[in-house]
Structure 1
């Protein structure tokens, strides 16, 4: 855990948004895994994957990482390297090989049009598909340097539903939407 905390601290020092985003995604992943009644081991794995999924961004130039506007094609090509960079960093740590594989494929798309290896459907590791949903939801519901006004939870869930089967795994989307709605219902007075 100390190695994971070091990765997170380094990332948070480079980019405070990404540091907070990773914490949010880790909480979403663990909560979602618990909701889906995963084993304690898998809930822990879900949390760890969420907290380190963007660690490869430590190597991204600041002017790209914090750019307020749309990235150029060349800049986006650099950003698209972060899953492989993160996976390579994580793979160097004994015991994090499975985490590294999940991180490597978290920007694949269910329809095969994502980045990484161009994997599609169930050839993408399950936890990578789950991470993609949680990552997308938090990105939409958080203020970003290129978008100051986040989507509401309802808007983000509608977008998740519309991306089911193309960008995101439809079964995971359905379960995630149920998870968020049940969480909202429990939070009501």
Structure 2
């Protein structure tokens, strides 16, 4: 068993939704990285970061993680810690230092109003900016404990474009929309064998 598989198993023991979400995001990240013609090393990095990006949620209490309604400010503050907790866990694993950095900054916003370190624009690592888009797209297009009706791909892509320049990198957003629109069957057309 690889370290990545072990981390994914750890996530799965805690929350079934998060492990499925992480698998989806890993597939999206690797397919999107291939589409964007990134290097083989960056495609691998994108896949691993997608697979483990929510490992920090193991520190979030179940009643918050699975809450069907709106979170209180205190509960949201707990959720906002998960990128830092996850990065700290991953940074202790030899060879995952780059992945830890990607995870640490995946909830930063392009305009600087996200959470974490308050980074903005190009200060945010490139693959973290990719992860922000892929993570959000999967969250919008799947059932969540707080929302039983997922958005269609079309509506989710419209939301990504609407948030380009504020939440998301505008260039990555446009590329992602092109990727999804031309590769609706990305799960079948792009495969990754870790």
Gaps in structure 1 of 5+ consecutive residues: none
Q: Which runs of 5+ in 2 are unaligned?
A: 189-194
- What does residue 82 of structure 1 align with? 82
TM-score, with structure 1 as normaliser: 0.96
State the alpha-carbon separation in 1 of the partners of residues 106 and 155 from structure 2. 22
Q: TM-score, length-normalised on structure 2?
A: 0.94
Identify the residue that residue 41 of structure 1 maps to in structure 2.
41
Corresponding position of 2:66: 66
**Higher-RCO chain (CA-CA 8 Å, sequence separation at least 6):** 2
Q: 1:41: Cα distance to partner?
A: 1.2
Aligned residue in 1 for 2:131: 131
Give the secondary-structure state (helix, strand or coil) at the position aligned to 2:110: coil
| Secondary structure in 2 matching 1:184 | coil
- The 3 A distance-change label for structure 1 pair 70 and 39 is same
The answer for the alignment partner of 2:179 in structure 1 is 179
Distance 1:185 1:27, change over 3 A: closer
Is 1:149 the counterpart of 2:158? The answer is no
> How many pairs were matched up?
187
Root-mean-square deviation (CA, aligned residues, Å) is: 1.2
Cα displacement (A) at 1:185? 7.5
Q: What CA distance in whole angstroms lies between the structure 2 residues aligned with 1:98 and 1:16?
A: 26
